[in-house]
Structure 1
Amino acid sequence: MARGIVSPMMADASIAEQEEAPLVWSARWSLTTRILAVNILAIALLAGGFFYLDTYRTRLVDTRISEMQDQLGLLDSALEAARPDQRARLIGEFTRATESRLRFYAADGRKLSDSFDHGPPTYTLRDPDLQAWQRDAARAMDRGIDWIVGAPSYPEFTEPAQDTLAAWPEAEATLRSGEAQARFRYAPERTPLLSATRVVDLETPEVMLMTLNARDITRTVRAERFRLAIVIAMVVIASVLLSLFLARTIVRPLRRLARAAVRVRLGRAREVVVPRLPSRRDEIGTLARALSDMTQALRERIDAGEHFAADVTHELKNPIASVRSAIEGLGRVTSDAQRTQLLAIADEDVRRLDRLVTDISDASRIDAQLSRASFEPVDVGLMIESMLAARCARNSQNEDRPRIAFARPRKGTTAVMGDGHRIERAIDNVIDNAISFSPAGGLVCIAATRLGDEVHVRVDDDGPGIEPSQREAIFRRFHSERPSGEAFGKHSGLGLAIARTIIEGHGGTISARDRDDGRPGASLLITLPAREGSDPTG
């Protein structure tokens, strides 16, 4: 049953729908793809650790070069203090301790001495063509990571064919400026080959060149990259598994709901079961139950529409058949009296059809009208008082009609929120029903009171009462139980059905019961939610 009250939740939902930003770049992505994309983005941020490793390698190289320059400074001081015959031994001990190679060049560019000429090499440049494929793979990976992180491009080192000062740009720069220089190159196996220079003043000024193959830097960086790769691989596996689990718990139930919604839309199955997912207490469970309730309400509305159409067809057939019979009879009768009688029958049936069409129109539209109505404060007591005054003015000459007694409540105690015209129509239909069942000279008693958070409107009549088995049936459309002696067709059978629709559209109820005072007759009770903030005491 549609409700006329626009709740704050519905208003908030409407605002949220209006304010929700549309998806642009991800509109065509499935939920599974989006979940994976978000998790992979987090992994990509973790993979940014490779950038840190490049910075870490740069710091290692800078630290090693700084150490080499400090060591050359100490060696310079030691060589100046040593006797000439001690210098060769001092240089040998230095190169073995630092695993480096020392060359000395004269100012004219000639190589004066080389530590490798006076002892075994302290390092060896390896030929990559003679190494295993694993080393080639490691070097390829190094190049790939350097390209990804945008590492600087360093020159490749080759041993000079003519080992002179001119073969070493950093040594030439030191000779010209007198300042220490350093250079980074890649050895053939792609390990750092570092060089540092310094001017030493022995018998004559010389340029001292120190070279070092820092394989340990490459080993350290590769080890850290391997550890980071292990961590990223584990995170990727865990993230993919968690993403698939999350997608399974989200996407699968949504697909089930979508398939059920499609079956409901196609309408091929009379009873489509929408899964309610009772075990889920999250938003998807709430959605499933809301869709199930919506489907049930839609099914009930469709059934009600079908029943209503069948009832309308049944109710219209009788007066139409009567009008057709009267019109056909006009062509056969010859006396004016018979013709007048047939015309009177046709006129009465046309009036009955007019009442039926009017009531059917109201009954079919009232739900939709209530759902769009803007509710305002309504004082039910004042409304009933005005209704009865107008009714009394219309029927002042009819002394056979039942009398009406109204117990007026205090002003302001029976305020509700609603559509005043619709509530008046509902109460008027209930009063009409009570009058139609009350005998001539009978009494219809009306009372409006405030009880807690509800406003009660009670209408009692002096009629025969309503059997308990019929107390729900009287609110069905086209209910045909009428008082004895009433002319056929005076009522459409929609009055109480319209009244229930209006009252329930305001969040209230209407029911039939026995009178509280024990007297014969029926009592119809209307309850409506009282207006918040109204004074129950008046």
Structure 2
Amino acid sequence: MPKNDSALGTPEAAARTSLTTRILAVNIFALAMLAGGFFYLDSYRSQLIDARLDETATQVRLIAEAYAVTPAEDRPKLLAKFGQVTETRLRIYHYPVPSVAPASIPVQFDSWSISPPTYQLRDPTQEEWQKRVARFLDRTIDVIVGADRPGQYADPDRDTLVAWPLAQQAMKVHGLVTDVERAPDRTPMILAAIDIRNPRGGGDILLSTENQRDIIRIVRAERLRLTVVLLIVVLVSVSLSLFLARTIVRPLRRLALAAHRVRLGRAREVQVPRLPERRDEIGTLARALSDMSMAIRQRIDATEAFAADVTHELKNPLASLRSAVDSLGLVKDPELQKQLIDVIRDDVGRLDRLITDIAEASRVDAELARARFESVDLGIMIEGLLTAREERGRNRDVRVAFARPHRGTAVVFGDGSRLTRVIENLVENAVSFSPPQGLVQVAATRDGDDVVIRVEDEGPGVPPEAREAIFNRFHSDRPEGEQFGRHSGLGLAIAKAIVEGHNGTIMATDRDNAPTGARFVIRLPAWSR
């Protein structure tokens, strides 16, 4: 059952989106985290306001202490001077006894009455468009970050104690109270009120108001810097994302298109781009797909050639069989009928051997792919094979000698039954080509990281020009006098397929220091624990 993207750990939603979209999404997510700096600006603004509240509280306490020890006639000048230095507006509300209703207590002194105003509340409707845009951004960001919304500040029409809840609270707690409100143009207003008790009874409420416009300027300046940095990072990130997507997605699309054309099989030679200039994983993938498509093409060509060869090889015995069957009904001579029946029997046997070998050759690759390899001691395996041949009389009048290696020196990792088939084919060929009383020598030795198997005979040998062709399917070059059709020409082809399936090699050479004879050499990787 094929695994879907979810089974492989890829969410279904991501699997439905393109790779370009995913790359952009990942980078935009990182930018969103950078945009979280606006939350930091809100915290920074809150810290500035808290610092100004503490500073104002300290100033108001000092002013109240100075006010308490200053003669009454000098207090207005003192408050006016403090108001100019601290850029605040100072008001005094005198109450003779705490029981007096705040509504009946008017302002006794206002620092702006004898000195110029220390701040100006601006009408937002009269400001230029840049300020309106800035305030719109302030409101938008406040909504996004969930900033606190202080109350709206406005000077009362009738300036009495009851118009200032903060002053009433200071009077109630007999101490200092601070608060933050927002001016019409959204700038912070710092308010502080303190109760200055008179030892002889009654007291004064000192109210300080201050427009901290510079806090907005500082926050906006930091926001502008952050916005510029964010825009630059966005442009760079999006550009790099598009570049990355282009360098990844475009070659992947080319590979996918080529793979699709290979799947459709409409083009005989589909060139899968190898991307030799790429040295990354995509280049590795491209070359792997190209090699895979070439291997598939070669496998298809081999299959088609094999099918054509099978058709050709089957036609000969079938034609002979058809001719013998057709003639059998016309011949009345018992002797000729017996000869025709022998021909039919030989052709049926030949077809049986041919079909058996064809089936073996066609499934050897698939069975090797499913086989469970294990360590195989070739010395023990070959010794058992040759003993069985001797007991069954398979060697006829040919002597077979085996130089058995030390136990454990000729061990490979593979399928023992398949390797037995290889040695069986080579020994059978060597025996069939050997002269009467000839000698076939089999050896298995360790050579570095390989195990080398040699099978030598004293037959006519293999001509140099035929040493590659003998491993082709249905190539049959049999000794003189052998009955036709006893071999299918697939033995060495099967042996080569099995050896290569074990990552080994097989070749035919001349014997050393011998006038005749052939030597088949197999090299297999040695098994190491």
Q: Which amino acid aligns with 1:358?
A: T
Q: Which amino acid aligns with 1:126?
A: R
The Cα of 1:58 is off from its aligned counterpart by 0.9
State the one-letter code of the partner of 1:320: L
Q: Which amino acid aligns with 1:471?
A: R
- Which deviates the most, 254-263 or 195-204? 195-204
Deviation string 1:152-206 (CA, Å, 9 cap, x unpaired) is: 1112222222221111111111111112111211111111112110112358411
Cα deviations by residue, 1:227-271 (Å, 9 ceiling, x for unpaired):
111111111111111111211222222122111111111111111
Q: 2:376 aligned to 371, 375, 378, which one? A: 378
- Which residue is equivalent to 2:499? 503
Residue aligning to 1:79: 67
Q: Secondary structure in 2 aligned to 1:270? A: coil
- Between the aligned partners of 1:87 and 1:68, the Cα distance in structure 2 is 20
Residue 418 (1) aligns with residue 414 (2): yes
Report the CA distance between 1:521 and its aligned residue: 1.5
Counterpart of 2:187 in structure 1 is: 191
- In structure 1, runs of 5+ residues without a counterpart are 1-16, 534-538
Of structures 1 and 2, the one with the larger relative CO (CA 8 A, separation 6+) is: 1
CA distance in 2, matches of 1:413, 1:198: 102
Compute the displacement of 1:305 (Å): 0.7
Return the letter of the residue paired with 1:250.
I
1:479 aligns with 2:475: yes
Q: Distance in 1 between the 2:512 and 2:444 partners?
A: 15
User: For residues 53 and 378 of structure 1, what CA distance do their matches in structure 2 show?
Assistant: 73
Question: How many angstroms apart in 2 are the aligned matches of 1:333 and 1:150?
Answer: 110
The percent of aligned pairs where both chains have the same amino acid is 56
Q: How does 1:453-468 map to 2 (within 5 A)?
A: 453-468=449-464
- Preserved CA contact (<8 Å) 2:48 2:215: yes
Q: Which residue does the alignment assign to 1:137?
A: 133
- Structure 1 residue matching 2:9: 3-state secondary structure: coil
Output the CA distance in 2 between the equivalents of 1:117 and 1:26.
69
Q: Distance in 2 between matches of 1:528 and 1:436?
A: 25
Segments of 4+ in structure 1 off by > 6 A? none
Shift of 1:214: 0.8
Task: Give the 3-state SS of the residue equivalent to 2:251 in structure 1.
Answer: helix
* TM-score, normalised with respect to structure 1: 0.92
1:371-450 paired onto structure 2 within 5 Å: 371-395=369-393, 401-450=397-446
Give 3-state SS (helix, strand or coil) of 2:152's partner.
coil
Stretch deviating more after TM superposition (459-468 or 361-370): 459-468
Amino acid across the alignment from 1:337: E
Report deviation, 1:357.
0.7
CA distance in 1, matches of 2:527, 2:35: 61
Deviations 1:61-111 (A, max 9, x none): 111122112111111122222222211111111111111111122334322
Give the 3-state SS of the residue equivalent to 1:106 in structure 2. Answer: strand
* SS of alignment partner, residue 526 of structure 1: strand
Paired residue for 1:23? 11
Amino acid paired to 1:339 = Q
The code of the aligned residue for 1:29 comes to T
- Alpha-carbon distance, 1:18 to partner: 12
**Equivalent of residue 366 in structure 1, options 364, 367, 370:** 364
Residue type of the alignment partner of 1:82: T
Q: Which of 45, 50, 69 is equivalent to 2:38?
A: 50
Match of 2:520 in 1: 524
Match of 1:8 in 2: none
Give 1:283's match in structure 2, choosing from 281, 284, 294: 281
**2:52 alignment counterpart:** 64
SS in 2 for 1:163: coil
* 1-structure distance, mates of 2:390, 2:233: 84
Aligned equivalents of 2:7, 2:186: Cα separation in 1 = 58
Write the distance in 1 (CA, Å) between the matches of 2:213 and 2:197: 32
* Structure 1 Cα separation of the partners of residues 61 and 408 of structure 2: 102
Following superposition, the deviation at residue 288 of structure 1 comes to: 1.5
The CA deviation at 1:24 is 4.2
Partner of 2:73: helix, strand, or coil?
helix
Q: Which moved more, 1:385-394 or 1:302-311?
A: 385-394
RMSD over equivalenced CA pairs, Å: 1.8
Deviation per residue, 1:105-139 (Å, 9 max, x gap): 23343222222222322211111111111111100
| Equivalent residues, number | 515
CA distance in 2, matches of 1:79, 1:526: 112
Unaligned runs of 5+ in 2: 96-101
What does residue 493 of structure 1 align with? 489
Matched, 1:97 2:97: no
- Name the aligned partner's letter for residue 106 of structure 1: H
TM norm structure 2? 0.94
